[in-house]
């Protein structure tokens, strides 16, 4: 990955903006006044120890969780009021889930097409369950993930772990989102697979698309433009990767190292 | 072209096309006013103390019949289940042949619906409370026996072999190795049978065997809809209370959920369970006493009327092909309606949070409302026939299947549905792709089992809507034509056994891993 110029939030309109987001939890809040912006083309890593609120932040960012305070803007728009408007908004947010959430009973192609359900009406959605449709686009989506197009007719249940990761990513891209979110996608992967997957994910980001990815390992920060450190539901730092020093990382994970 | 699982789930709903086309032809013009009055009755049930009193008394009798019939069937079923278990015979005597024999014999009482048992016993020993109890206990006992022996024979035998290899005698080894793993399944199924027994007891009442069912049919026939609804609302409250009570106990004791649509871990709180079972004994004795059930009176049979002079010729002369065909068409229509409409309705109401609650209420009515009463209601506006009977039977089974589908949908697939929702799919498509995919096979497998139950139940609506073997059964019963009755019962047994075999095959195919 070559060094990227960090797009300034002042010049490029943000794809995602969180303003003073608070999410209540048992005892202390899970998110406590979090403010951040992600511009088109930016690749941002979210760092922090377990329980820092990374998953909560991503759930707010993909609209699954409504915060108890603050405002979320997607493409500079707040949450739409109409159900239709909300779905259109959701369609621009692609999420790579840690448990992938593929539909095991369907084929790879049907799963890939499930990413298009937001655009498709009932006729095509039903047709997808009967016949292989949009084969060319699906094959291309697989190839972009370095997967063999022969896999299209296989059941996803029959794939290996690494193949399933890539199919889930291909499905996310079929959705044509402007914001990519991923919650610890590299957990439970061996180092080689993790490096490959991260490279693929970073390749997908680029204007007008942005990437926000939560990460447990600070050693994988290369290739990101910016990193945000989260601890106890609050932002500790938010700066270009090149400016982050080892002592900042140490402070972020500090309590974890000293706790018994 | 091959339908993927979620679509497979909706295929049975295609039966709606011919049914909806046939429906306008079946209307006979009148009766809408009556139907309207019936629906209006729902919001203004009679609160007259006299009506309330007779409803409560009737409900007490129905509950008593259900409870006693259920208890007898459990004891009977458990003993017969052990007697038809291959692993038990194999361990005790070295051969599984007697188990096969008992199984075959038990298929006969199982194949005959409790209503037929009730009507037969009514003819034999006259009107008395023990008739309804026995009518429930006989087929239920045979059903429980099958489930007990199936569960037993499906248990892994390694523990048993280990104990036997260590020199333990067969009896104690069986009890130690197979008893504990058998119990959760049997108790969970037993709880479900109590819900069924309440429905059966209500149904038997409709045909004059006492209790609330009797009140329901009398108020319906005399068009006293306000009084009818008093009984219905009370019955609904009791049934929902019973279902949620049994569900709560099942969860508390960690028993498996019904038919594994949503698997849970198995554990148990032994002492509490045993105490509950012990507390049932005095309750049952008290109920038996209050209902004046006298088992001895069952032994006093009335003499059978003599056979008609022409012998078996009249039985053979019945229009068998058309009766059998009508029964089969009725079964398939009702099964497809029940299996297919449940997911369709869930999809329809998916966008609205109150939709599911509304469906739950309608389905609860479908479960408690005996199908012959639905048939009577439908006859206000429709002509009698196969489709009318299928609608009545389908509605009842829709109540059972719908509840199961909803329970299954709430237990699985939430994450996948969320994921689709987050990528902008509408609520209906997210439900179809996200939740129905995982449910399709086990739901359809249960539907296949249900079709087999529906075949047995055809007699219940056939009696009212004038179709199939059931219609002939009523005539033969009222004219005491024993030869015809025997032939009809034999035909029912054959059909049910063939149906059972077909549905078993369908189920195994659906559940086989791809």
Q: Burial code of A55-78, b = ≥16 C-beta within 10 A, e = fewer?
A: bbbbbbbbbbbebeebebbbbeee
Report, as an integer, the average pLDDT of B296-318: 74
One domain for residues B461 and B324: yes
Mutate to test the interface with A, among B416, B423, B435 (most CBs of A within 10 A): B423
One domain for residues B148 and B192: yes
Q: Looking at the predicted structure, is the pLDDT value of residue B257 above 70?
A: no
| Chain-chain contact of B4 with A155 (C-beta, under 8 angstroms) | no
One domain for residues B144 and B173: yes
One domain for residues B275 and B168: yes
Top mean-pLDDT range of B46-50, B159-163, B199-203: B199-203
| H or E segment to which residue B510 belongs | helix B482-511
Task: Pick the residue from chain B with its C-alpha nearest to A116.
Answer: B425
Report, as an integer, the average pLDDT of A227-244: 91
CA distance A235 to chain B (A): 25
Q: Which residues of A touch B (CB under 8 A)?
A: 62-64, 83, 87-95, 97, 99, 101-107, 110, 114-115, 117-118, 122, 125-126, 129-131, 155, 157, 172, 175, 177
**pLDDT for the residue numbered A260:** 36
Q: Looking at the predicted structure, is the pLDDT value of residue B265 above 60?
A: no
Supply the DSSP symbol for B435.
Answer: I
B228 is a domain residue: no
Task: Pick the residue from chain A with its C-alpha nearest to B415.
Answer: A101
One domain for residues B272 and B420: no
B299 interface with A at CB cutoff 8 Å: no
Measured CA to CA, the distance from residue A14 to residue B497 in angstroms comes to: 68
Report, as an integer, the average pLDDT of A32-44: 92
SS3 B412: coil
In total, the C-beta contacts within 8 angstroms joining chain A to chain B are 92
Report, as an integer, the average pLDDT of B205-229: 84
Q: Which of A92, A110, A117 sits opposite B425 (nearest CB)?
A: A117
**pLDDT for the residue numbered A244:** 87
Average pLDDT, chain B: 83
CA dihedral B253, B257, B262, B268 (to 10 degrees): 20
One domain for residues B124 and B177: yes
Q: Which of B351, B433, B440 sits opposite A114 (nearest CB)?
A: B433
Kindly list the residues from chain A whose CB atom is less than 8 angstroms away from the CB atom of residue B440.
Answer: 105
B510 interface with A at CB cutoff 8 Å: no
Q: Burial code of A128-139, b = ≥16 C-beta within 10 A, e = fewer?
A: bbeeebbeeebb
Measured CA to CA, the distance from residue B464 to residue B473 in angstroms comes to: 11
One domain for residues B341 and B289: no
CA-to-CA separations, B331 to B335, B398, B467, B480, B495, in angstroms, rounded: 6, 13, 11, 27, 11
CA distance B426 to chain A (A): 7
Measured CA to CA, the distance from residue B219 to residue B200 in angstroms comes to: 19
Task: Pick the residue from chain B with its C-alpha nearest to A101.
Answer: B416
**pLDDT for the residue numbered A258:** 41
Mutate to test the interface with B, among A103, A158, A170 (most CBs of B within 10 A): A103
Helices B386-411 and B353-368, interaxial angle, to 10°? 130
Q: Looking at the predicted structure, is the pLDDT value of residue B258 above 90?
A: no
pLDDT tens track for A171-200: 998 888 999 999 888 887 788 888 888 888
| Residue, of B413 and A72, whose pLDDT is higher | A72
Report, as an integer, the average pLDDT of B222-238: 87
B149 is a domain residue: yes
Q: Which two tokens stand for residue A58?
A: 């991503």
One domain for residues B293 and B332: no
Mutate to test the interface with A, among B352, B413, B419, B429 (most CBs of A within 10 A): B419
pLDDT tens track for A39-90: 988 999 999 988 889 999 999 998 889 999 999 999 999 998 888 888 889 9
Q: Looking at the predicted structure, is the pLDDT value of residue B170 above 80?
A: no
| Residue, of B23 and B183, whose pLDDT is higher | B23
B227 is a domain residue: no
Report, as an integer, the average pLDDT of A6-25: 79
Q: How confident is the model at residue A9 (pLDDT cuts 50, 70, 90)?
A: very low
Q: Which of B415, B424, B438 sits opposite A90 (nearest CB)?
A: B424
pLDDT tens track for A131-173: 888 999 999 999 988 899 999 999 998 998 888 989 999 999 8
Q: What are phi and psi for residue A238, nearest 5 degrees?
A: -150, 95
Q: How confident is the model at residue B307 (pLDDT cuts 50, 70, 90)?
A: low
Contacts of residue B142, defined as CB under 8 A and 6 or more positions apart, other chains included, come to B77, B80, B106, B107, B109, B110
CA-to-CA separations, A74 to A34, A88, A92, A178, A207, in angstroms, rounded: 16, 11, 9, 10, 15
**pLDDT for the residue numbered A47:** 92
SS3 A85: helix
Q: How confident is the model at residue A1 (pLDDT cuts 50, 70, 90)?
A: very low
Q: Looking at the predicted structure, is the pLDDT value of residue B158 above 80?
A: no
Range of the domain at B83: 64-204+257-299
Measured CA to CA, the distance from residue B89 to residue B96 in angstroms comes to: 5
Out of B270, B299, B328, pick the residue that ends a domain.
B299
**pLDDT for the residue numbered B395:** 93
One domain for residues B351 and B498: yes
Helices B353-368 and B225-252, interaxial angle, to 10°? 110
One domain for residues B422 and B458: yes
Domains of chain A are 11-92+177-260 (3.40.50.300), 106-176 (no CATH)
Contacts of residue B426, defined as CB under 8 A and 6 or more positions apart, other chains included, come to A83, A87, A117, A118, B351
B3 is a domain residue: no
Q: Which two tokens stand for residue B77?
A: 């079923």
Out of B266, B299, B332, pick the residue that ends a domain.
B299
CA distance B6 to chain A (A): 8
Contacts of residue B257, defined as CB under 8 A and 6 or more positions apart, other chains included, come to B188, B250, B263, B264, B407, B411
Find out whether B159 and B335 touch, Cβ atoms under 8 Å: no
Q: Looking at the predicted structure, is the pLDDT value of residue B267 above 50?
A: no
Q: Cα B355 to the chain's mean position, in Å? A: 26
**pLDDT for the residue numbered B269:** 62
Structural domains counted in chain B: 2
SS3 B180: helix
* Site of tokens 């400016």: A243
**pLDDT for the residue numbered B513:** 63
Kindly list the residues from chain A whose CB atom is less than 8 angstroms away from the CB atom of residue B4.
Answer: 105-107, 110, 129-130
B28 is a domain residue: no
**pLDDT for the residue numbered B263:** 39
B367 is a domain residue: yes
Sheet bearing A43-47, strands edge to edge: A93-96, A179-183, A210-215, A43-47, A226-231, A234-240
Task: Pick the residue from chain B with its C-alpha nearest to A92.
Answer: B423
| Chain-chain contact of B422 with A95 (C-beta, under 8 angstroms) | yes
B141 is a domain residue: yes
pLDDT tens track for B478-502: 777 788 888 888 888 888 888 888 8
Find out whether B125 and B298 touch, Cβ atoms under 8 Å: yes
Q: Which of B4, B7, B420 sits opposite A117 (nearest CB)?
A: B420
**pLDDT for the residue numbered A4:** 46
Name the B residues in 347-376 with CB < 8 Å from any A CB: 351
CATH code for position B132: 1.10.3720.10
Out of B299, B330, B355, pick the residue that ends a domain.
B299
One domain for residues B453 and B404: yes
B391 is a domain residue: yes
| Residue, of B2 and A212, whose pLDDT is higher | A212
| Chain-chain contact of A131 with B437 (C-beta, under 8 angstroms) | no
**Between vectors from CA B254 to CA B248 and to CA B255, what angle results, nearest 5°?**
85
One domain for residues B261 and B366: no
B344 interface with A at CB cutoff 8 Å: no
């Amino acid at each position: 990955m070559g060094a990227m110029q960090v797009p300034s939030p002042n010049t490029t309109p943000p794809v995602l903006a969180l303003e003073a987001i608070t999410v209540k939890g048992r005892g202390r809040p899970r998110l406590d006044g979090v403010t951040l912006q992600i511009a088109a083309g930016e690749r941002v890593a979210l760092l922090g120890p377990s329980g820092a609120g990374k998953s909560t932040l991503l759930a707010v960012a993909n609209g699954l969780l409504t915060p108890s305070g603050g405002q979320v803007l997607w493409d500079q728009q707040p949450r739409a009021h109409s159900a239709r408007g909300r779905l259109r908004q959701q369609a621009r947010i692609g999420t790579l889930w840690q448990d992938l959430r593929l539909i095991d009973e369907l084929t790879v192609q049907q799963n890939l097409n499930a990413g298009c359900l937001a655009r498709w009406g009932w006729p095509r959605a039903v047709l997808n369950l009967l016949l292989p449709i949009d084969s060319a686009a699906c094959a291309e989506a697989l190839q972009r993930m370095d997967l063999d197009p022969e896999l299209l007719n296989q059941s996803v249940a029959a794939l290996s772990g690494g193949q399933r990761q890539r199919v889930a990513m291909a499905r996310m891209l079929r959705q044509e989102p402007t914001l990519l979110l991923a919650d610890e996608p590299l957990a439970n992967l061996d180092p080689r697979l993790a490096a490959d997957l991260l490279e693929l994910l970073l390749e997908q980001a680029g204007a007008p698309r942005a990437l926000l990815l939560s990460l447990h390992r600070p050693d994988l920060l290369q290739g990101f433009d910016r990193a945000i450190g989260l601890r106890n539901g609050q932002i500790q730092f938010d700066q270009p990767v090149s400016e982050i020093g080892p002592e900042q990382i140490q402070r972020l994970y500090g309590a974890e190292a000293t706790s018994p | 072209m091959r339908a993927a699982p979620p679509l497979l789930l909706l295929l049975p709903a295609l039966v709606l096309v011919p049914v909806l086309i046939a429906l306008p032809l079946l209307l006979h013009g009148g009766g809408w006013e009556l139907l309207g009055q019936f629906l209006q009755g729902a919001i203004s049930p009679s609160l007259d103390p006299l009506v309330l009193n007779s409803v409560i008394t009737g409900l007490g009798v129905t509950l008593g019949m259900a409870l006693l019939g259920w208890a007898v069937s459990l004891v009977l079923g458990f003993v017969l289940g052990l007697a038809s278990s291959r692993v038990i015979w194999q361990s005790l005597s070295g051969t599984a042949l007697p188990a096969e024999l008992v199984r075959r014999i038990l298929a006969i009482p199982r194949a005959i619906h409790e209503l037929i048992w009730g009507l037969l016993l009514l003819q034999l020993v006259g009107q008395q409370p023990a008739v309804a109890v026995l009518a429930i206990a006989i087929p239920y006992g045979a059903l429980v026996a099958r489930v007990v022996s199936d569960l037993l024979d499906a248990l892994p035998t390694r523990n048993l072999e280990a104990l036997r290899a260590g020199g333990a005698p067969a009896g104690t080894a069986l009890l130690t190795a197979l008893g504990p793993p058998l119990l959760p399944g049997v108790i969970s199924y037993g709880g479900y049978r109590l819900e069924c027994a309440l429905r059966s007891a209500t149904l038997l009442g409709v045909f004059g065997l006492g209790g609330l069912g009797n009140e329901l049919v009398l108020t319906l026939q005399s068009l006293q809809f306000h009084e009818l609804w008093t009984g219905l609302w009370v019955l609904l409250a009791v049934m929902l209370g019973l279902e949620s009570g049994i569900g709560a106990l099942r969860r508390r004791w960690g028993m498996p959920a019904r038919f594994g649509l949503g698997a849970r871990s198995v554990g148990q709180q032994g002492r509490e369970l045993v105490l509950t079972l012990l507390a049932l004994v005095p309750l049952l004795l008290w109920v038996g006493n209050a209902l004046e059930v006298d088992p001895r009176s069952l032994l006093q049979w009335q003499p059978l009327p003599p056979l008609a002079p022409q012998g078996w010729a009249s039985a053979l002369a019945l229009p068998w092909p058309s009766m059998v065909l009508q029964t089969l068409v009725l079964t398939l229509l009702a099964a497809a309606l029940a299996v297919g409409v449940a997911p369709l309705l869930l999809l329809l109401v998916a966008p609205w949070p109150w939709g599911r609650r509304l469906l739950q209420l309608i389905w609860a009515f479908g479960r408690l409302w005996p199908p012959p009463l639905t048939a009577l209601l439908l006859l206000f506006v429709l002509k009698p026939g196969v489709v009318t009977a299928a609608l009545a039977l389908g509605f009842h089974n829709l109540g059972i299947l719908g509840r199961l589908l909803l329970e299954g949908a709430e237990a699985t697939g939430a994450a996948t549905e969320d994921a689709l929702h987050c990528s902008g799919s509408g609520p209906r498509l997210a439900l179809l792709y996200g939740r129905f995919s995982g449910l399709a096979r086990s739901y359809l497998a249960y539907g296949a089992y249900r079709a087999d139950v529906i075949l047995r139940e055809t007699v219940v609506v056939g009696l009212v809507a004038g179709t199939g073997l059931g219609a002939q059964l009523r005539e033969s019963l009222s004219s005491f034509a024993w030869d015809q009755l025997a032939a009809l019962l034999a035909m029912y047994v054959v059909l049910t056994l063939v149906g059972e075999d077909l549905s078993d095959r369908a189920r195994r195919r659906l559940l086989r891993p791809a």
